[in-house]
Amino acid sequence: MTSVPSPAPGRELSNPPSDGISNIRFSNHTDHLLVSSWDKSVRLYDASANALRGEFFHGGPVLDCCFHDDSSGFSASADNTVRRLLFSSNKEDILGRHDAPVRCIEYSYAAGQLITGSWDKTLKCWDPRGASGQDRTLVGTYPQPERVYSLSLVGNRLVVATAGRHVNVYDLRNMSQPEQRRESSLKYQTRCVRCYPNGTGYALSSVEGRVAMEFFDLSEASQAKKYAFKCHRKTEAGRDIVYPVNAIAFHPVYGTFATGGCDGYVNVWDGNNKKRLYQYSKYPTSIAALSFSRDGRLLAVASSYTYEEGDKPHEPDAIYVRSVNEIEVKPKPKVYPNPLA
Amino acid sequence: MSNPQADPLLQVETTCGSLLYELQIIWDEVGESDAERDKMLLELEQECLEVYRRKVDVANRSRAQLRQAIADAEAELAAICSAMGERPVHIRQSDQNAESLKEELRRILPQLEEMRKRKSDRRNQFLEVQEQIQDISNEIYGSTQYISSKTVGDESDFSLRKLEELHRELHELQKEKSDRLRQVQDHLCTVNSLCSVLGVDFKQIVVEVHPSLGDSGGPKSISNGTIDQLDAAIRKLREVKLQRMQRLQDLASTMLELWNLMDTPIEEQQIFQAVTCNIAASEHEITEPNTLSVDFINYVEAEVSRLEELKASKMKELVLKKRSELEEFCRRTHMVPEIDSTMEDAIEAIETGAVDPACVLEQIELQIAKVKEEAFSRKELLERVEKWLAACDEESWLEEYNRDENRYNAGRGAHLTLKRAEKARALVNKLPAMVDALASKTAAWEEERGIEFTYDGIRVLSMLEEYTLLRQEKEQERRRQRDQKKLQGQLIAEQEALYGSKPSPSKTQNVKKAPRMSTGGTSSRRVSVGGAMLQTPKPDPLQSVKATPRPSRKSDRGHQNDQLNPQDDGFSVLSAGRRGLDIAGLPAKKHHSFGTANVREIESPMMRVPFSPISSTASSKANMANLLDDPSMTHSETLQKTLPNNNLQFTTPSKTNYMADEENKTPKALPIPVPTTPATVSVPMQTVTTPAPPPVSFGIKVVEEIPEEIEYSFEERRAGFVLPKTHMKSMIQV
């Protein structure tokens, strides 16, 4: 174990979006990377080849995107539309609309449905197999207590985080009402929510440099395991500076996770052992989004000013793809005097 | 004979009379003799008679003919009537009515005619029906089998009943025909569905049975042969289907097993959903076209063999996985897996290909099952052991605490420590009973099972024994110390008398911890227990010399420390660390003995005593002030204070020590944190159970604005998104 400072922040992708990056996602099958941006575009990169493979332009800033399969994806746009993107033909069509900008989008392989959350305080489920046109594709609309800020899926569970620190947990098989209605354990606005890959709970980050680790199981034993920790802070001249935690990404193999904050740092944590495993060297500006590739060997980092301090000059938006060393993400169990494993 | 009314006869009479007269005249002239005359007359009379007789005969004959004709007609009529099954209309009336024969004949003939016509009509009807019957029969039985004997049939029975009978027969035949048609249709349907499931050409199969079945429009063959053949075809297809189904289900179950074994991703599985969903289906439930086609089965087979190959390649991985599963389970239940060496061998053997990995896998699975079963039986005892160990921890903490000079100093969190001490004392009082109960239970368990009950490989009974011994020794030690104390008191009093001053009590500043039962690391327990036994009773030679067995109740703390001979590095720095903690005023202080347990026992985070509640204002303010997000940023005084948080392993103040102890025990790997150097060292999280305190100064002002107005995310601000007024009210209510 050497603590040599990692020399580079990873390979920077050429042809980055020209404005803020709202989300980046690796495909489940290849090393393709889907990127949505405030420059009204969705771009498809081949991360391993560092090549731009497709570009789609929308009527408004794109706030989120996700893959359907390797030949198509979806995007959520600030022009209230939910769109389907066909990579092979570079065509797109409108799947439906919300009444306000669509903030986040997820595709559930379990339900075969697309789920979108919007600032119109609703969640909508879509069946992308239907012909285009709202009336054919819309499966249901589910009112939320507040504007939806973040969504995450694991299996049939859906976690919805909204303004006002509400957290609703749904079972996709019965969307009529939330399985659980919760309030965020953190005192400040929710930035990001991501489910554990093992499906037992979720991590939730706030604008105040904190991440809460929560569990679905409501039994006392399970709830006793929940906790919150501070991160992405620094002290400068005796003054504490606390940064928003914009992004959480779980490692698909080890279940450890990376967080990205407005301080430009990416930290890797081991939630079970309550340890920080690694900190990457500082990126030029805020970390807007993170994504591990399907095998966890690559980590895409969107270094892009997230507008936390309003309109101001900032570093150019960039996407870095770094190869992940096992030591950076593998949980470190205690050393056993009598090594078992 | 002669009819007087008839003129010709009269004329004949007259002509005869005149002719006779003429003859008489002639005779007279001729002068014939009377005899001659008589003779001539007789002759004449005889000749006349002859003529009459002839005529009568003729008339008689014609009458007889007439009668015959009537009788014939009547007979025919009767025959026809009887054939047609009708009652003869004309009953012989001629007797009563005294009709002439000719009239009678005239009357009968049209009737006869009429009947004949009717008969021929009827006959035609018969023919027609019989023809139809013939046709249908031919269709059903095949042209050869049914000999058309009935068609020629007897003419004798044309009765309506017979016709009806024939009609009935025809009707039955028609019904049978339609039945058969339906049957054929059904069979065809069955064949069709079977063919589609099996992916076989339906037309070909059907045309083989009968060419007429192939074309959809035309009439279909319904003969026995066709139906039999269709039946046979269906049976054959069904057999094939059953075979293939069996094959497919075998493949599917293999596939499921493989998936299960290798955690194949759902997406990959979904492709074969169609296969696996039929795994338990019975034959008639499989109706999807092509599910049993040769191609499809080959396709599935290919997938299975692909998976098998994959499995073979992954087998080692799997074995390792299963093994680590087993070990993990053992670790969780504090059992010692007995398989280490054999497993290594097995894995090597797999690598060299000497052993079938499946066999090894099975073996491991068997072991897992066994271990699980055992774990279940251990559960209750294990809980008790854990409880006991926790109590031991508390005990040692209490001892340590009792030795702390400053324990009553009113620092932050002191009340909590006090509370804990109170609880710990109660617990310690219960300890002997707990040990006894545990010992008896364990003994009973061992008795019952005939094996030793071990905890992380150490026999619990021996642990208990050691503990009791240790306890006894401690008790003795305590007594001895009290004596010493008293002795010392006397000594001091003497010195004071001599020099007039008391020695500084600060000479025993270096507060040392009593060795304690370590609860964590598996094998270190034995060592530490043993160590404690060795260390504790080791008295300072000087003091032991001075020791007198005089018991003293007072001041049993603080001064005994010199006797303890700490050998552990971790312990030697404890005091410094603790002081650091005290200065920082962190609530971590009260946790430090737990910290050790926490870190060592990673495998049982559930059993860990949860972070004790921290009053949010006090603790998190302190944290806010002191804690850094990144310990590697500055290696300063603050950092040192920050590190010993709730979660810290040893209560060591410096990270280097922790590293040395926890990570690899080689000091060479100590990273000296340098600012902006990304750390590979795992750093404990700054966890707090309660949310953040009210306003802290933020780098970003957004948060501070929250209470005043509706909250907006950065994205909403950037997009210029504003909530419509109507929503505002509800928002505020929320």
3-class SS string, B628-688: CCCCCCCCCHHHHHHCCCCCCCCCCCCHHHHHHHHHHCCHHHCCCCCCCCCCCCCEECEEE
CB distance A109–B267 less than 8 Å?
A: yes
Q: Each residue of B33-50: pLDDT tens digit?
A: 888 888 888 998 899 899
CB distance A334–B713 less than 8 Å?
A: no
Q: Give the predicted TM-score (pTM) of the model.
A: 0.41
Q: Each residue of A161-177: pLDDT tens digit?
A: 999 999 999 999 999 99
SS3 B286: coil
CB distance A241–B698 less than 8 Å?
A: yes
d(CA A120, CA B529) in angstroms, rounded, equals: 64
CB distance B713–A189 less than 8 Å?
A: yes
Q: Each residue of A54-104: pLDDT tens digit?
A: 999 999 999 999 999 889 999 999 999 999 999 989 898 898 999 999 999
Amino acid at residue number B244 = R
Partner-chain residue, chosen from A2, A101, A328, that has the shortest CB–CB distance to B721: A101
Q: Each residue of A183-209: pLDDT tens digit?
A: 999 999 999 999 999 999 999 999 999
Q: In order of start, what are the domains of chain A with their CATH numbers?
A: 11-328 (2.130.10.10)
Mean pLDDT rounded to a whole number for chain B:
68
d(CA B368, CA B374) in angstroms, rounded, equals: 10
Closest residue, chain A, to B724 (C-alpha): A120
CB distance B689–A186 less than 8 Å?
A: no
Query: Strand A11-12 vs strand A21-26: parallel, antiparallel, or unpaired?
Result: unpaired
Alpha-helical runs (H) found in B263-353: 266-270, 273-276, 294-332, 340-352
Q: How far is B321 from chain A (nearest CA, A)?
A: 10
Residue B115: its pLDDT value, please? 84
Closest residue, chain B, to A211 (C-alpha): B687
Q: Alpha-carbon torsion B695, B697, B699, B704, what sign?
A: positive
Residue with the bigger pLDDT between B173 and B602: it is B173
CB distance B684–A275 less than 8 Å?
A: yes
Q: How far is B390 from chain A (nearest CA, A)?
A: 18
SS3 B720: coil
Residue B314: its pLDDT value, please? 73
Location of structure tokens 């030949």: A71
Beta-carbon contacts of B360 under 8 Å, excluding residues fewer than 6 positions away, are: B319, B346, B347, B349, B350
Find chain B residues with C-beta within 8 A of A29's C-beta: 267
Location of structure tokens 């990126």: A283
**H or E segment and range at residue B246:** helix B224-262
d(CA B615, CA B412) in angstroms, rounded, equals: 11
Partner-chain residue, chosen from A273, A277, A306, that has the shortest CB–CB distance to B714: A306
Q: Alpha-carbon torsion B596, B602, B608, B610, what sign?
A: positive
**H or E segment and range at residue B455:** strand B454-455
Q: How far apart are the first and last CA of chain B?
A: 148
Beta-carbon contacts of B664 under 8 Å, excluding residues fewer than 6 positions away, are: A1, A335
SS3 B512: coil
Q: Determine the length of chain B.
A: 734
Beta-carbon contacts of A301 under 8 Å, excluding residues fewer than 6 positions away, are: A9, A10, A260, A266, A280, A283, A287, A289, A290, A319, A320, A321, A322
Task: Give the Å distances, CA to CA, from B349 to A341, B352, B417.
Answer: 18, 5, 56
The rounded percent of chain A whose pLDDT value lies above 70 is 94
d(CA B352, CA B657) in angstroms, rounded, equals: 43
Alpha-helical runs (H) found in B566-632: 569-572, 574-584, 592-600, 616-626
Residue A113: its pLDDT value, please? 92
Distance, C-alpha B277 to centroid of its chain = 8
- Selected residue of A207, A270, A305 to mutate for chain B interface (largest B Cβ count, 10 A): A207
d(CA B621, CA A35) in angstroms, rounded, equals: 40
Sheet containing A245-250: give its strands across: A245-250, A257-261, A266-270, A275-279, B683-684
d(CA B180, CA B210) in angstroms, rounded, equals: 15
What burial letters (b/e) apply to B320-335, b meaning 16+ CB within 10 Å? bbbbeebbebbbebbb
d(CA A44, CA A241) in angstroms, rounded, equals: 36
d(CA A296, CA A299) in angstroms, rounded, equals: 7
Residue B636's pLDDT band, with cuts at 50, 70 and 90, is: very low
Per-residue DSSP letter, B586 = -
Partner-chain residue, chosen from A38, A230, A336, that has the shortest CB–CB distance to B686: A230
* Cβ-contact A3, B679 below 8 angstroms: yes
d(CA B669, CA B680) in angstroms, rounded, equals: 11
Q: How far is A339 from chain B (nearest CA, A)?
A: 10
Residue A25: its pLDDT value, please? 95
CB distance B692–A187 less than 8 Å?
A: yes
CB distance B713–A149 less than 8 Å?
A: yes
Residue with the bigger pLDDT between A110 and A332: it is A110
Find chain B residues with C-beta within 8 A of A234's C-beta: 628-630, 633
HEC-encoded secondary structure of chain A: CCCCCCCCCCEECCCCCCCCEEEEEECCCCCEEEEEECCCEEEEEECCCCEEEEEEECCCCEEEEEEEECCEEEEEECCCEEEEEECCCCEEEEEEECCCCEEEEEEECCCCEEEEEECCCEEEEECCCCCCCHHHHEEEEEECCCCEEEEEEECCEEEEEEHHHEEEEEECCECCCCCEEEECCCCCCEEEEEECCCCCEEEEEECCCEEEEEECCCCHHHHCCCEEEECCEEEECCEEEECCEEEEEECCCCCCEEEEECCCCEEEEECCCCEEEEECCCCCCCEEEEEECCCCCEEEEEECCCCCCCCCCCCCCEEEEEECCHHHHCCCCCCCCCCCC
Find chain A residues with C-beta within 8 A of B273's C-beta: none
The full DSSP string for B537-552 is T---HHHHHH------
Partner-chain residue, chosen from A231, A276, A333, that has the shortest CB–CB distance to B602: A333
Find chain B residues with C-beta within 8 A of A243's C-beta: 699-700
d(CA B186, CA B191) in angstroms, rounded, equals: 8
Q: At what angle do helices B592-600 and B574-584 cross, to 10 degrees?
A: 120
Mean pLDDT rounded to a whole number for chain A:
90
* Cβ-contact A26, A291 below 8 angstroms: yes
Lowest mean pLDDT, pick from B92-96, B330-334, B651-655, B715-719:
B651-655
Q: Each residue of B589-612: pLDDT tens digit?
A: 344 444 343 434 434 444 433 343
d(CA A257, CA A229) in angstroms, rounded, equals: 13
- Selected residue of A187, A211, A232, A305 to mutate for chain B interface (largest B Cβ count, 10 A): A187
Alpha-helical runs (H) found in B85-148: 94-97, 101-141
**H or E segment and range at residue B459:** strand B458-459
CB distance A207–B702 less than 8 Å?
A: yes
* Cβ-contact A233, A246 below 8 angstroms: no
Task: Give the Å distances, CA to CA, from A316 to A258, A262, A284, B290, B543.
Answer: 22, 15, 8, 56, 74
Residue B436: its pLDDT value, please? 85
**Taking residues B130-158, what's their average pLDDT?**
67
Q: Each residue of A285-327: pLDDT tens digit?
A: 999 999 999 999 999 999 999 998 888 899 999 999 999 988 8
Residue B524: its pLDDT value, please? 37
SS3 B255: helix
**Rg for chain B (alpha carbons), in Å?**
65
Which tokens belong to B480?
Answer: 């001895």
**Taking residues B684-710, what's their average pLDDT?**
51
* Cβ-contact A237, B645 below 8 angstroms: no
Closest residue, chain A, to B666 (C-alpha): A1
SS3 B436: helix
Closest residue, chain B, to A192 (C-alpha): B713
Spatial CA neighbour of B124 closest among B170, B156, B158, B169? B158
Q: What is the maximum alpha-carbon separation in chain A?
A: 64
* Cβ-contact A13, A45 below 8 angstroms: yes
Q: Tell which phi-psi region holds residue B616, choosing left (phi > 0), alpha (psi between -120 and 50) or beta.
A: alpha
Lowest mean pLDDT, pick from A219-228, A260-269, B23-32, B486-495:
B486-495
The residues with which A269 forms a beta bridge, in sequence order, are A257, A276
CB distance A229–B330 less than 8 Å?
A: no
Beta-carbon contacts of B80 under 8 Å, excluding residues fewer than 6 positions away, are: B112, B115, B116, B118, B119
**H or E segment and range at residue B454:** strand B454-455
**Whether residue B397 has pLDDT greater than 70:** yes
Per-residue DSSP letter, B700 = S
CB distance B718–A225 less than 8 Å?
A: no
Find chain B residues with C-beta within 8 A of A232's C-beta: 629
Cβ-based contacts under 8 A for chains A and B: 204
Residue B201's pLDDT band, with cuts at 50, 70 and 90, is: confident
CB distance A221–B606 less than 8 Å?
A: yes
d(CA B191, CA B209) in angstroms, rounded, equals: 11
* Assembly ipTM: 0.89
Amino acid at residue number B362 = E
Beta-carbon contacts of A7 under 8 Å, excluding residues fewer than 6 positions away, are: none
Which tokens belong to B453?
Answer: 């009950």
Find chain B residues with C-beta within 8 A of A278's C-beta: 678-680
Find chain B residues with C-beta within 8 A of A229's C-beta: 685-688
Residue B559: its pLDDT value, please? 45
